[in-house]
Structure 1
Amino acid sequence: MSALVLTAPPSAATADTAPGPGEPVTITADDLPTWQTDGVVWTIAMLGDTVYVGGNFDHIRPPGTNPGDPQEQPRRNLAAFNAATGLPLAWAPTVEGTPFTDTTHQFDCDDLGNNRWNCDAVWELRPSPDGTRLYAGGDFTKVDGQRRGKIAAFDLPSGGLNGFAHEFNSRVKALAVTATTVYAGGFFIKVDDIRRERLAAFAVSGGALTGWAPTADRGVHAMIISPDGGRVVIGGDFDHLNGNLPHGLGAVRADTGASVPWATGVDRVSDSRRSWVTDLVKDNEAIYASANGQSTFDGRLAVNPGDGTLRWIDNCLGATQAITVMDGLLYSGSHAHDCSSQPDGFPELVPGIPYQRLLAEPTHPDPARFDTPPLLHWFPNTNGGPTAYNQGPRALDNNGKYLWAGGDFTNVNGEKQQGLARFASLSVAKDVNPPEPVRKPAVAKPDGTTGQLRVTWVQTWDRDNKKLKYEVIRDGTTVVHTVEAESRFWDLKSLTYTDTGLVAGSSHTYSVRAIDPFDNRVRSPSSDPVQAG
């Protein structure tokens, strides 16, 4: 895929938690109380109501607290939580490692700053289809003091480390698991001292390395099994898969590793101007990929799993790192700053408006209306965090009721929260957060009038509701005007109301109340008093 940009007719998609007829309903943008980590979460795997997380961290702590809080608990790069409560579970393996090394770089584990994640990180967690095992891949070399050369497995539900053990010479970044086979991808070129060029597979029964040995000439970042089980879809930064183009995205047979026809890749102009696939998810009809890019594509796309032909692509700019499918919507984590190529997308954000790091769009947009999926009205947000890449969300997963996000962020929706965030569907949680604050209105007497005052205010916006009701309140108690209007964080308009029939010479103040469809309310400060003339 080279400079592939699809256009779409302008059309409003007002989906939110209370959308118009025929529009999808998103989960709420309210972040629920959730325990935190003291480092980066790179991977999340949800199995029923249990959430497994992996990354680079040493402790977990309650929501709203700072590192070092007395309630903090040790967790070395792996932890588990209750999906419905955000509370920690007892599972606490200790993961240790050595510096990550690829063919050109080595990173120092003694540097606990920006390179901390290149040491003992857990990069991938994948449960078996029957839920009896959890596989982990990363940079680690020991788990609970036992040698595990960048891959390990735990029995479930006990969480105990089992005997699955192999030696990779470099990072395991991606895993995919079937009833019979564990597939691994990453930066390695040897497994158990046997040549395997960034792709390998193991038998579930007995754990032996199999003969499955396709090749990738650069790093593999993501893997997923096609809906029919016949293919392994592979994403990353490679130029060739089994010697074949396209760059960054392809597929091989799940049984033999042989190449299969594949149509769609991601951009590669040069080493300094290219895209790479960061995550892969699926439903019964399509494979979805996210991408990071250097002056190239870094949004999301959907392909047909049988041959890789393109279904749709969005060209929202801002390094997408993670995606998950929930109730027909594709949720993504990125640092989006220009989504003007999408219907209902925002233009390049100006200084003072933070990057939008969590987004939602339909997986199957109506082809009669859209070539590119519309951006839906779902705008929870995180900051970029303290790491060098200033990304924010790095991992997403859901169990159909709760969506969890992990990353290197330190706040969510403007409140302190590190590493983990939790959101929910309306089936299990209420929409309780009010719109953003309303600024103090301006009040003036229209020239040449008596007994009138004009009230002007700037719209506010809500993270998961596009349409808000505004009430104009005179003198603190009397609602004199009500109006509904749609708003988005990048497009806030001025609204006015002229209050008439006032006593000449009387003085009044006004405030404005914004109300979302769930009766969550926020009220502006009162205006300065003004005489009606």
Structure 2
Amino acid sequence: MFALAASPLAMLVPHAGADTRPPPGVPVTITADPLPTWQTDGVVWSLAVVGDVIYAGGNFDRIRPPGADPGDPREQVRHNLAAFNAATGEPLPWAPKVEGTPFDSGTPQTDCDDLGGDRWVCDAVWKVAPSPDGTRLYVGGDFTKINDQRRGKIASFDLPAGTLTTFRHEFNSRVKTLAVTRDAVYAGGYFTTVDGTARQRLAAFTAATGALTGWAPTADRGVHAMLAAPDGGRIILGGDFHRVNGRGPHGLAAVRTDATGTSAPWETGVEYFDDKRRSWVTDLVTDGEAVYASANGEGTFDGRLALNIDDGTRRWVDNCEGATQALTILDGLLYSGSHAHNCSSQPGGFPDSVPNHTYQRLLAEPTNPDPQYDTPPILHWFPTTNGGATAYNQGPRAMDNDGRYVWVGGDFTTVNQQPQQGLTRFGSLAVAKDVNPPEPVRKPTVTKPDGTTGTLTINWTQTWDRDNAQLTYQVIRDDNTVVHTVTETSTYWDLKSRTFTDTGLAPGSTHTYSVRAVDPFDNRFRSARSDPAQAG
């Protein structure tokens, strides 16, 4: 177990900067401007990039163009699986039909479709995972049929054709996660049997034949995430389990890819006090040097942590509050999806309960923080989503990237306050322009200082930009004359009041003022004109 309290150093470091045009030596983020992307009508649980294609799995029935409302005549049918061009966001024709078996239950079934009359169907795809050579796509979930053929919660497709293979097995409960190596396919979830053979939430199949192997480590609770170590000799596990092969720690473990899945050394877990106060791991990614884990929690840790890939010893912990569900790494930055609401533990982080900005659901931070930090700073990259229509109020659920575009899937219905459901994407400056202006500047107020002649004082409040900390403000008199310019940094949680006094005006003359905010890419937003004011 590790301590999750932030050190005093982390609390004292000033704003860490970083955006699409940061100061020298500070990493450059992707833009915060969402690119045109087709939408889903439900939740996207998993994303995987294969070449220039992004595969999405989840619980949805249709896809539609960006900007289109549900029911738009351009909608296309997609049953829980879809594929898109990673660079354009346009759909590809691949459209397998993924279905479940309806059943009766008087108990509400979480993450399943309510058919009415206490009848339900669970057919979601929870994980899409390609083979290392990109010639096969494996999917796991709750489904029981694909293309009208029996597939008991796991299946595979040949790529790039997308044809369903003969790979077929029967799990008795959800396959939540997959990891694929050259030689084997590893599955984790909530199941306890595969083809009638005991497997305690972990199982493996040969890649060549698809046969169930003797690899059978045991987890005592759900396995939510799996990652093949680069050395090929271990599978890193994340979830809500207490024990794997009878050993702790809670929530994280490593098992060997030997014949039976013996345990490998692993030091760090996540917090567990009791079932009402615990953390669980939701996602795992690696850059080849470290493993990065995200966590959800109830009354305890639900941020992100970096661990040495060899033994699970801790590198750093990010104690942002607000369940983290998804991770992806691009150009040395860790992008995450969460419903973060308090990152005051982190350099450059925001406090809890910011008015009109309760949650910041997408974040970026360096994988290898500068030595001045013992925990990674929150970088100035602040696109966001809403929590969506589900009871979770979460938003982002899945992330992946192709080295140019970061894709985000989830249960959200807006991105940056604009309608967009289930899917969105953001581009690096190599492929996308920073085009969105700063957030709106409020109308300034203008007063005549007592005892002055030919003088007016303009008061305004800073605004902020989603991917640029530094903005230039121009005070404009009578719509045509810039009388003051200042460049300074701002964040959405710390907007300062500013004042400028305009002198040398004709006594008795009347003027209006506006304030224009300009980002480093010359994207602009101009406030409304002030009420007219008369110089003394």
Q: What is the aligned counterpart of 2:390 among 370, 387, 391?
A: 387
**1:276 corresponds to which letter in structure 2?**
W
| Equivalent position SS for 1:200 | strand
Q: 1:335 and 1:76 mapped to 2: Cα distance?
A: 27
Q: What are the residue-to-residue correspondences of 1:185-334 with 2, within 5 Å?
A: 185-256=188-259, 257-334=261-338
**1:6 corresponds to which letter in structure 2?**
A
Q: Deviations over 1:74-117 (max 9, x none)?
A: 0000000001111000000000014799xx9955955269x999
Q: Which moved more, 1:342-351 or 1:128-137?
A: 342-351
**1:209 corresponds to which letter in structure 2?**
L
Contact kept in structure 1, 2:109 and 2:120, CA below 8 Å: no
**2:73 is equivalent to residue 70 of structure 1:** yes
Q: What are the residue-to-residue correspondences of 1:492-507 with 2, within 5 Å?
A: 492-507=495-510
Q: 2:111 and 2:288 mapped to 1: Cα distance?
A: 43
Q: Which residue number corresponds to residue 13 of structure 2? A: 10
1:3 and 1:379, CA in 2 relative to 1: closer, same or farther beyond 3 A?
same
TM-superposed CA distance for 1:284, in Å, is 1.6
Q: What is the aligned counterpart of 1:172 among 170, 175, 192?
A: 175
Q: Which moved more, 1:309-318 or 1:446-455?
A: 446-455
Q: 1:107 and 1:249 mapped to 2: Cα distance?
A: 25
TM-superposed CA distance for 1:350, in Å, is 3.6
**2:125 is equivalent to residue 131 of structure 1:** no
Q: 2:375 and 2:325 mapped to 1: Cα distance?
A: 20
Q: What are the residue-to-residue correspondences of 1:420-459 with 2, within 5 Å?
A: 420-459=423-462
Q: 1:378 and 1:107 mapped to 2: Cα distance?
A: 33
TM-superposed CA distance for 1:145, in Å, is 0.4
Q: Which residue number corresponds to residue 186 of structure 2? A: 183
**1:304 corresponds to which letter in structure 2?**
N
Q: 1:140 and 1:508 mapped to 2: Cα distance?
A: 68
Q: Deviations over 1:157-176 (max 9, x none)?
A: 00000011000000000100
**2:430 corresponds to which letter in structure 1?**
S
Q: Deviations over 1:376-395 (max 9, x none)?
A: 00000100001001100000
Q: 2:279 and 2:112 mapped to 1: Cα distance?
A: 28
**2:358 is equivalent to residue 364 of structure 1:** no
| Equivalent position SS for 1:518 | coil
Q: Deviations over 1:444-463 (max 9, x none)?
A: 11111111111110001000
**2:164 is equivalent to residue 161 of structure 1:** yes
**2:94 corresponds to which letter in structure 1?**
W
Q: 1:180 and 1:60 mapped to 2: Cα distance?
A: 34
Q: 2:115 and 2:331 mapped to 1: Cα distance?
A: 40
Q: Deviations over 1:283-336 (max 9, x none)?
A: 021000000000010000000011100000010000000010110000000000
1:395 and 1:509, CA in 2 relative to 1: closer, same or farther beyond 3 A?
same
1:116 and 1:36, CA in 2 relative to 1: closer, same or farther beyond 3 A?
farther
Q: Which residue number corresponds to residue 57 of structure 1? A: 60
**1:185 corresponds to which letter in structure 2?**
G
**2:344 is equivalent to residue 340 of structure 1:** yes
TM-superposed CA distance for 1:2, in Å, is 5.4
**2:356 is equivalent to residue 349 of structure 1:** no
Q: TM-score, normalised by structure 2?
A: 0.96
TM-superposed CA distance for 1:12, in Å, is 2.8
**2:467 is equivalent to residue 464 of structure 1:** yes
| Equivalent position SS for 2:531 | coil
**2:281 corresponds to which letter in structure 1?**
V
Q: 1:2 and 1:327 mapped to 2: Cα distance?
A: 28
Q: Deviations over 1:173-207 (max 9, x none)?
A: 01000000000000000001000000000000010
TM-superposed CA distance for 1:118, in Å, is 7.5
Contact kept in structure 1, 2:339 and 2:360, CA below 8 Å: yes
Q: 1:328 and 1:119 mapped to 2: Cα distance?
A: 38
Q: How many pairs does the alignment contain? A: 530
TM-superposed CA distance for 1:260, in Å, is 1.2
TM-superposed CA distance for 1:119, in Å, is 1.3
Q: What is the aligned counterpart of 2:38 among 2, 18, 35?
A: 35
**2:395 is equivalent to residue 396 of structure 1:** no
1:168 and 1:250, CA in 2 relative to 1: closer, same or farther beyond 3 A?
same
Q: 1:112 and 1:298 mapped to 2: Cα distance?
A: 34
**2:486 is equivalent to residue 483 of structure 1:** yes
1:531 and 1:28, CA in 2 relative to 1: closer, same or farther beyond 3 A?
same
TM-superposed CA distance for 1:49, in Å, is 1.1
**1:265 corresponds to which letter in structure 2?**
G
Q: 1:403 and 1:323 mapped to 2: Cα distance?
A: 10
Q: Deviations over 1:412-455 (max 9, x none)?
A: 01111000001000000100000001000010111111111111
**2:154 corresponds to which letter in structure 1?**
I
Q: TM-score, normalised by structure 1?
A: 0.97
**2:271 corresponds to which letter in structure 1?**
D
Contact kept in structure 2, 1:41 and 1:406, CA below 8 Å: yes
Contact kept in structure 1, 2:100 and 2:121, CA below 8 Å: no
Q: 1:226 and 1:108 mapped to 2: Cα distance?
A: 30
Q: 1:78 and 1:87 mapped to 2: Cα distance?
A: 15
Please, which runs of 5 or more residues in structure 1 have no aligned partner? none
1:417 and 1:175, CA in 2 relative to 1: closer, same or farther beyond 3 A?
same
1:449 and 1:388, CA in 2 relative to 1: closer, same or farther beyond 3 A?
same
Q: Which residue number corresponds to residue 528 of structure 1? A: 531
Q: Deviations over 1:46-88 (max 9, x none)?
A: 1121010010000000011111101000000000000111100
Contact kept in structure 2, 1:472 and 1:479, CA below 8 Å: yes
Please, which runs of 5 or more residues in structure 2 have no aligned partner? none
Q: 1:151 and 1:493 mapped to 2: Cα distance?
A: 54
Contact kept in structure 2, 1:123 and 1:138, CA below 8 Å: yes
**1:374 corresponds to which letter in structure 2?**
P
| Equivalent position SS for 1:140 | coil
CA-atom RMSD, angstroms? Answer: 1.8
1:180 and 1:220, CA in 2 relative to 1: closer, same or farther beyond 3 A?
same
**1:10 corresponds to which letter in structure 2?**
V
Q: 1:58 and 1:354 mapped to 2: Cα distance?
A: 31
Q: Which residue number corresponds to residue 50 of structure 2? A: 47
Q: What are the residue-to-residue correspondences of 1:367-378 with 2, within 5 Å?
A: 367=371, 369-378=372-381
Identity in percent: 71
**1:286 corresponds to which letter in structure 2?**
A
Q: Which moved more, 1:223-232 or 1:146-155?
A: 223-232
Contact kept in structure 1, 2:103 and 2:120, CA below 8 Å: no
**2:158 corresponds to which letter in structure 1?**
D
Q: 2:103 and 2:431 mapped to 1: Cα distance?
A: 41
